[in-house]
Amino acid sequence: MLLTILAEQPTDFSRYNDDVQRVALRDIRGTTQEFEIEHVDQLLPRLIDKKFGPALIRDPDIYGAYEWVNPALRAYVRLRK
């Protein structure tokens, strides 16, 4: 569910190119509470851990911002709803 919420988050720009989009945790906290997803900060490390994927990488310049490693994964997650 968290991955779907992150994939659906609208983004204005990306750091590297138009295909890889940045997501911000502060922008999804309200949505995660609506779906009763608790402890987002504890769930997110699995999405950035190298042995599980990773699906996201941390943006070193902006606290709480992440980018999709593979834009095809984001598109796949969005299509699976």
pLDDT score for 21: 67
Q: Answer whether 0.85 is exceeded by the pTM.
A: no
pLDDT score for 44: 82
- How many structural domains is the chain composed of? 1
pLDDT tens for the chain, 81 residues: list them: 888 888 887 665 444 444 446 777 777 888 888 888 888 878 888 888 888 878 888 888 878 788 888 888 888 888 886
Question: Which range marks the domain in which residue 67 is found?
Answer: 2-79
pLDDT score for 16: 43
H helices present in 1-81, as ranges: 2-8, 29-34, 40-48, 71-79
Distance separating alpha carbons of residues 10 and 27, to the nearest angstrom: 10
pLDDT score for 19: 43
Distance separating alpha carbons of residues 9 and 78, to the nearest angstrom: 10
From residue 36, alpha-carbon distances to 14, 19, 30, 33, 52 in Å are: 29, 30, 10, 5, 24
